[in-house]
Structure 1
């Protein structure tokens, strides 16, 4: 929309927010200068660049519909749609589902929230374009925790039920993606992982979920929480499917917000030989010794690690004392970063890459009109992040980020000595669905992501692979590798999968 000259009252309000006290003369001066600056804003507007990723105008696609309850019994889908992929690619004939914070041109994107419900992107995310070019067909958008803030599997559109027992939840925030592959409704699904959001529901639903090395898969066209921790990743029933998908979506994107440089990629499925003889695995003690740990889950994970030992891997216990507190530090850093991102219309400033004008403008309008519809988890982060930032001048955020630099050094030192680190993805099984439990109770959830979230900030690749069951509910083993060595945790997961099958 055209920019208009700010009023004197608006300038005074803005000055107050910026801790400025303007005299009447200053107000008049800045209003006159603003009028002159408007011409420059109009120059930018006249170009109005709208790059179309994936050439949506030439693809066969439908806008999609919300599936009825009888066709969506676990509430895993938000929208069923069809976007046809190219012929002859390596994924030709595959049905792909996308978490509903991944842009598909012409298809509504809700982020699991009433706040942005109704927003329709005008671009395909880079990874979507790559999937379509590889021959995959997009068949729908999957349900997720409201705005990606949660680990249980609860969107504004209701709970996402566990495919193994619908009295339990799927986990989050990529719960719908885990469910549709577990149920065979898609060959592969894309989730996004900001603190375990791919690996946690993969563990709870008994599927494979991989959080790639930071930067390996572009986040362009996806809605995130914080640029430093956002990772898109594949989820499927088998490791090979995950690896083949990763081969397609990996690779640099010059438009990406994070780092416009070349990253090392490979054909990850070609590394899946299941040979772990000579592989060294460090079993992180602090990943098991958690107050909320279910001893039966711990036993299943140790059993899975023992299976890798039986296949020839060397197993040793290691200690990373800061890992015990890494989840708490992550939550402190995330709150302040989310508050800053929300004030910047969910995108932020000061990076070189592609900005999505459609999303920025739409989210800004939605946020200002409907912020009360944010879930308690988002409101808590906004309030605490803003409070700590303003009252304590971001001191705790800075200290927390510095602690993560030390933790990166500790993980890297261990990964120089061992090929992989191992621990439970989550030390419990899926949470029980309680219809009486409201969003404020869910905001009290602590600990679920404590083994997963550290590797969002350190950037190491991590795979969750099924490791057993407790009372009929799946348990996940998390395998963590060195940066850009995504093939090693995938191959160890492949070896374990072969034995357990």
Structure 2
């Protein structure tokens, strides 16, 4: 299957199938402003008037209306080059979809991560200055980590990063955010959107909680995270191991039940056009009882208390963003220090706590190619987190 393409697609090679739609001319409404001269790609969940929206599925999807965030970026002078592919309806972490799936920017045998797969690839290949993604359970952070770029998931509800006009997966956990080749670009966009002023922050005496659950990664990722911790210590930070539980028992029922409601109309059809795993997941979500979903929300409240207590003790958390380097296309299992594990669970359990609970997170490249780490900040302290990241980049 081939992706939807624009007439000039031949002049823009796309062997990775990162792009779902690219108009003959970039979309630009203002040629002046703080983002003038910059280009960006749009994950195909954002509504853009005059552009199609497929959510990278062959199934029918609801119209979310026009994206407030895309409109604001255009007002600030940036130009949108087109829409990028994602893991089908954002319900996955590899990049597979109804149009053949997106491949890694440098290794066609491996996945780029998802669900913001095309976004990460468009940035990694230098096709745009920044990309718009979404993050419900790691969908910005995972492809950023596996493609060696930067991803930022803001605090849930951050006014600069509106999700209005974005086709939801889970309104409880969805976040809008950017990916870029460096954090300086992310900060430039953040400040232009009115997010606040960001300056580099000194790591001296910063209290870092190291969340590296035993056995949850392979040796390569474990060593990369520990090396990152050593670098923070060399900069004056204190690093202390911390514990958080796996939160999939709250995350999965909430996300699947809400996703099923989003796609309820399509699910009325015997074969709406979703890939088999997507269809099974959505039907499982629709089958959940109100009591099961309510119990998941109650567990979420309990987990929020745990995270708040931890972030009262530490200024920032350091954690792996992925359990292994990028897996092969079609690989469903990975070998971790604890033994074999289902890929989806291995990835999600590292990322879901912070989207489930809405904390701001940076996904930053480590010293190992295609292995990223997470820096997690306190709710509402996005400028502080971005400033700490900036000092690492400089």
Q: TM-score, normalised by structure 1?
A: 0.71
Alignment of 1:3-82 (within 5 A): 64-65=6-7, 67-68=9-10, 71-81=13-23, 82=26
Q: 1:65 to 1:100 in 2, by over 3 A?
A: farther
Q: After superposition, give the CA deviation of every residue in 1:163-217 in whole Å (9 maximum; x if it has no partner).
A: 2322211010001000111100000000011111000000000000011101112
Q: 1:234 aligns with which of 164, 175, 178?
A: 178
Alignment partner, residue 303 of structure 2: 407
Measure how far apart 1:223 and its partner are: 0.5
Alignment partner, residue 337 of structure 2: none
Alignment partner, residue 109 of structure 2: 167
Equivalent residues, number: 378
- Does the 8 A contact of 2:94 with 2:113 survive in 1? yes
Q: Does 1:386 align with 2:286?
A: yes
| Partner SS state of residue 451, structure 1 | helix
Alignment partner, residue 17 of structure 1: none
Alignment partner, residue 353 of structure 1: none
Alignment partner, residue 13 of structure 1: none
What is the distance in 2 between the residues matched to 1:459 and 1:332? 17
Q: 1:436 to 1:290 in 2, by over 3 A?
A: closer
Q: 2:204 aligns with which of 277, 285, 297?
A: 277
Alignment partner, residue 297 of structure 1: 221
Q: Does 1:445 align with 2:370?
A: no
What is the distance in 1 between the residues matched to 2:237 and 2:277? 41
What is the distance in 2 between the residues matched to 1:218 and 1:153? 24
What is the distance in 2 between the residues matched to 1:70 and 1:128? 22
Of structures 1 and 2, the one with the larger relative CO (CA 8 A, separation 6+) is 2
Q: 1:180 aligns with which of 106, 114, 122?
A: 122
> Which structure 1 residue ranges, 5 or more long, are not aligned?
1-62, 251-264, 344-363, 438-442
Alignment of 1:431-442 (within 5 A): 431-434=327-330
What is the distance in 2 between the residues matched to 1:123 and 1:434? 34
What is the distance in 1 between the residues matched to 2:153 and 2:12? 32
> Which structure 2 residue ranges, 5 or more long, are not aligned?
334-341
- Does the 8 A contact of 1:211 with 1:231 survive in 2? yes
Q: After superposition, give the CA deviation of every residue in 1:127-146 in whole Å (9 maximum; x if it has no partner).
A: 01110011000001011111
Alignment partner, residue 244 of structure 1: 188
Structure with greater proportional helix content: 1
Q: 1:330 aligns with which of 239, 251, 261?
A: 251
Measure how far apart 1:236 and its partner are: 0.1
| Partner SS state of residue 370, structure 2 | strand
- Does the 8 A contact of 1:461 with 1:483 survive in 2? yes
Alignment partner, residue 234 of structure 2: 310
What is the distance in 1 between the residues matched to 2:227 and 2:308? 26
What is the distance in 2 between the residues matched to 1:493 and 1:327? 28
Alignment partner, residue 28 of structure 1: none
Q: 2:213 aligns with which of 256, 269, 288?
A: 288
Q: 1:224 to 1:290 in 2, by over 3 A?
A: farther
Measure how far apart 1:233 and its partner are: 0.4
Q: After superposition, give the CA deviation of every residue in 1:69-107 in whole Å (9 maximum; x if it has no partner).
A: 971011111111211141321100101101011111101
Q: 1:231 to 1:127 in 2, by over 3 A?
A: same
What is the distance in 1 between the residues matched to 2:201 and 2:255? 37
Q: After superposition, give the CA deviation of every residue in 1:432-479 in whole Å (9 maximum; x if it has no partner).
A: 124999xxxxx973221211111112111111000122xxx4111101
Higher Cα Rg: structure 1 or 2? 1
| Partner SS state of residue 257, structure 2 | helix
Alignment partner, residue 396 of structure 1: 292
What is the distance in 2 between the residues matched to 1:124 and 1:386? 27
Alignment partner, residue 131 of structure 1: 73
